A and B are shown apart, each in its own frame.
Chain A
Amino acid sequence: MSPVIPLGPFHPALEEPYKVEVTTTGETITDAEITVGFNFRGIEWLAERKTYTQDIALLERVCGICSNVHTLMFCRAVEKIADLEVPARAKFIRVIVAEAERLHSHLLWAGVACNLIGFETLFMTCFSLREQVMDVLEGISGNRVNYAMNRPGGVNRDITDPASILDAVRTIADVTAKQLIPVMTTDRTVRARCSGVGILTREDAIAYGAVGPMARASGLATDIRKSAPYLVYDQLTFDVPVRSEGDVFARIVVRALEILESCKIIEQAIDMMPAGPIAGGLFLAVPAGEAAIRIEAPRGEVVYYMESNGTDMPARVRVRTPTFANMPTVRVMAIGQGLSDLGLIQASIDPCYSCNDR
Chain B
Amino acid sequence: MDVDVLLSELNPGGTYELRRDGYWAVWPDLDVRAMATLMRAREVRLSTMTGTPGADGRLRLIYHWDVGAKMLNMETSVTAGHIPTISDVLPAADWVEREIRDYYGIEFDGRAATPPLMLREGDIPGLFSRTRDLGTQIDPAETARTNVASEGGETR
Is B62's CB under 8 angstroms from A222's CB? no
Q: Across the two chains, which residue of chain B brings its CB closest to A204? A: B91
Residues of the B chain whose Cβ atoms lie less than 8 Å from the Cβ of A328: 91-92, 94-95
| B contacts, CB < 8 Å to A | 20-22, 40, 43, 45-48, 50, 52-53, 62, 64, 66, 68-71, 73, 90-92, 94-96, 103, 116-120, 127-128, 131, 135-136, 140
The answer to whether A257 has its CB under 8 Å from any CB of chain B is no
Q: Across the two chains, which residue of chain B brings its CB closest to A301? A: B47
Is B73's CB under 8 angstroms from A292's CB? yes
Chain B binding site: helix, strand, loop or mixed by DSSP? Answer: mixed
Is B127's CB under 8 angstroms from A45's CB? yes
Number of A-B contacts (CB under 8 A): 100
Residues of the A chain whose Cβ atoms lie less than 8 Å from the Cβ of B94: 328
The answer to whether A166 has its CB under 8 Å from any CB of chain B is no
Q: A207-B40, A209-B92, A328-B91 are in contact. Are A222 and B66 (CB under 8 A)?
A: yes
Residues of the B chain whose Cβ atoms lie less than 8 Å from the Cβ of A358: 118
Contact of A320 among B45, B47, B128 (CB under 8 A): B47
Residues of the B chain whose Cβ atoms lie less than 8 Å from the Cβ of A208: 91-92
- B129 CB, min distance to chain A CBs, angstroms: 11
Residues of the B chain whose Cβ atoms lie less than 8 Å from the Cβ of A207: 40, 90-92
Residues of the A chain whose Cβ atoms lie less than 8 Å from the Cβ of B22: 292
Q: Beyond A305-B62, A316-B53, A318-B50, list 15 extra A-B contacts (CB 8 Å).
A: A37-B119, A45-B127, A45-B131, A45-B140, A83-B20, A208-B92, A209-B91, A228-B69, A294-B71, A301-B47, A303-B48, A320-B96, A324-B96, A325-B48, A325-B92
Residues of the A chain whose Cβ atoms lie less than 8 Å from the Cβ of B140: 42, 45
Bound CA span A45–B128, Å: 7
A–B complex contacts, Cβ < 8 Å, 8 sampled: A36-B118, A45-B127, A45-B128, A209-B45, A228-B69, A293-B21, A316-B50, A316-B52
Residues of the A chain whose Cβ atoms lie less than 8 Å from the Cβ of B119: 37, 40
Chain A binding site: helix, strand, loop or mixed by DSSP? Answer: mixed
Q: Please report the total number of A residues contacting B with Cβ < 8 Å.
A: 37
Bound CA span A318–B90, Å: 21
Residues of the B chain whose Cβ atoms lie less than 8 Å from the Cβ of A293: 21, 71
Residues of the B chain whose Cβ atoms lie less than 8 Å from the Cβ of A228: 68-71
Bound CA span A352–B118, Å: 15
Choose among B53, B62, B117 the residue with the greatest number of A CB atoms under 10 Å from its CB. Answer: B117
Is A291's CB under 8 angstroms from B90's CB? no
The answer to whether A265 has its CB under 8 Å from any CB of chain B is no
- A253 CB, min distance to chain B CBs, angstroms: 22
Is A37's CB under 8 angstroms from B91's CB? no
The answer to whether A357 has its CB under 8 Å from any CB of chain B is yes
Q: Across the two chains, which residue of chain A brings its CB closest to B136? A: A49
Is A357's CB under 8 angstroms from B118's CB? yes
Is B131's CB under 8 angstroms from A80's CB? no
Is A206's CB under 8 angstroms from B43's CB? yes
Bound CA span A189–B150, Å: 59
Q: Across the two chains, which residue of chain B brings its CB closest to A207? A: B91
Q: Across the two chains, which residue of chain A brings its CB closest to B127? A: A45
Residues of the A chain whose Cβ atoms lie less than 8 Å from the Cβ of B66: 222, 227, 301
Bound CA span A303–B71, Å: 10
Chain A residues 274 to 306 lying within 8 A of chain B, measured CB to CB, are 291-294, 301, 303, 305
